[in-house]
Amino acid sequence: MWIELEKLNSATDNINRFEVELDESKCEFKRLLAESVVRIKAAAHKLGNSIDAAKPYYESRIYAAQLAKETQQSAANHEKAKSIHATAKEMVYLAEQGLGEKSTLDTACQEMLSHAASKVNQSQLEVTDTRNALKMCQLKLEVANNRVNKLQGQLKQALRASRYTSGSIDGAGSIHIYGIELYEFWELLFLGLYDYILYSFL
């Protein structure tokens, strides 16, 4: 009894300690993020028109990233539809094998076989629909990526001028502030999502 009580007290102490640490981490994150955005906005003010000139490029990157996620989901939906269709065809095959020895089929057997065949037809339509949806997503993603590459070439000077040169630089040459790549901050500022990102962690 006393051992269980000690374990309970110890667990309660750990929970309280973790809650305090979590609150402290949230406060520190909020402070660092707010400080970083202030620095980014100051850089944007200093760099002037180059930020606005580079905006279409960053917006196109965001759109392409969204399409990439949609394409991944569409591909998953298509694979799921193909799996369901294959299972339905297997059910029809097994039903036909099991009923093949009978000279006549009773009503229950006919209904079972009809239902299995209907499932095959429905799943085939789903396979077709998801395949078409996937092709459309892939086409839109290709167009979006081409636009990103085109804007990267057209806005080369503006992009170079809009890059903030303070902060840490990793081995690949990407600029980071508190572990977040700089272009992500630009994108957040362009979309006005800073407040959402900040308070979603609170």
176 or 94, greater pLDDT: 94
34 or 154, greater pLDDT: 154
Distant-in-sequence, close-in-space partners of 196: CB < 8 Å, separation ≥ 6: none
Per-residue pLDDT reduced to its tens digit, 115-152: 888 888 999 999 999 999 999 999 999 999 999 999 99
Query: What's the count of helices (H) and strands (E) in the chain, helices before strands?
Result: 6, 3
Of all residues in the chain, what percent are helix, strand and coil, respectively (each to 5)? 85, 5, 15
How confident is the model over 173-198, as a mean pLDDT? 45
- Tell me the average pLDDT of the chain: 76
Per-residue pLDDT reduced to its tens digit, 50-71: 777 878 888 888 899 899 999 9
Domain spans of the chain, in order of start? 163-202
pLDDT range class, residue 184, cuts 50, 70, 90: low
Q: How far is CA 51 from the centre of its chain?
A: 26
